[in-house]
Amino acid sequence: MTSNPSLTCEALIRGASNRIASDTARLDAELLLSHVTGLSRTSFRAWPEREVARDLAEAFEQLVSRRLGGEPIAYLLGNQEFWSLPLKVSPSTLIPRPDTECLVEVALGLLLPGNARVLDLGTGTGAIALALASEHPEWQVSACDSVAEAVALAKENSEALGLSVNVMQSHWFDDLPQASFDLIVSNPPYIKEGDHHLAEGDVRFEPGSALVSGVDGLDDIREIVAKAPDWLAANGWLLVEHGYDQAPAVQAIFRARGFESVASRKDYGQNDRMTLGQWPGESGNTQ
| CATH number of the domain where residue 265 is located | 3.40.50.150
Structural domain range at position 13: 5-69
**Hey, which of 35-39, 106-110, 216-220, 279-283 has the most confident mean pLDDT?**
106-110
- Residue 50 placed within a domain: yes
88 and 155 together in one domain? yes
121 and 236 together in one domain? yes
150 and 246 together in one domain? yes
Please, which residues have CB within 8 angstroms of residue 221's CB and are 6 or more apart in sequence? 188, 190, 213, 240, 242, 250, 253
Please, which residues have CB within 8 angstroms of residue 155's CB and are 6 or more apart in sequence? 126, 167
Look at residue 74 in the predicted model and tell me its pLDDT.
87
108-144: b or e for each residue (b if 16 or more CB lie within 10 Å)?
Answer: eeeebeeebbbbbbbbbbbbbbbbbbbebeebbbbbb
Band (240; pLDDT cuts 50, 70, 90): very high
Q: What is the DSSP string of 36-55?
A: HH---HHHHHH-TTPBPPHH
Split into its structural domains, the chain has a count of 2
180 and 249 together in one domain? yes
267-286: pLDDT as tens digits: 998 999 999 999 997 655 54
- Are the C-beta atoms of residues 194 and 249 closer than 8 Å to each other? no
Q: Does 172 have pLDDT greater than 90?
A: yes
163 and 270 together in one domain? yes
Supply the Cα-derived Rg of the chain in whole angstroms.
21
143 and 188 together in one domain? yes
| CATH number of the domain where residue 48 is located | 1.10.8.10
Q: Nearest 5°: phi and psi at 2?
A: -75, 135
- Are the C-beta atoms of residues 71 and 95 closer than 8 Å to each other? no
192 and 217 together in one domain? yes
Mean pLDDT of the chain: 89
Look at residue 194 in the predicted model and tell me its pLDDT.
65
Look at residue 195 in the predicted model and tell me its pLDDT.
63
Strand-strand pairing, 272-278 and 232-241: antiparallel
| HSE-CB of 119 using CA atoms within 13 angstroms | 26
209 and 274 together in one domain? yes
Q: Does 287 have pLDDT greater than 50?
A: no
134 and 262 together in one domain? yes
Q: pTM of the full predicted structure? A: 0.83
Q: Is 95 helix (H, G, I), strand (E, B) or coil?
A: coil
Query: By mean pLDDT, which of 194-198, 242-246, 271-275 is the weakest?
Result: 194-198
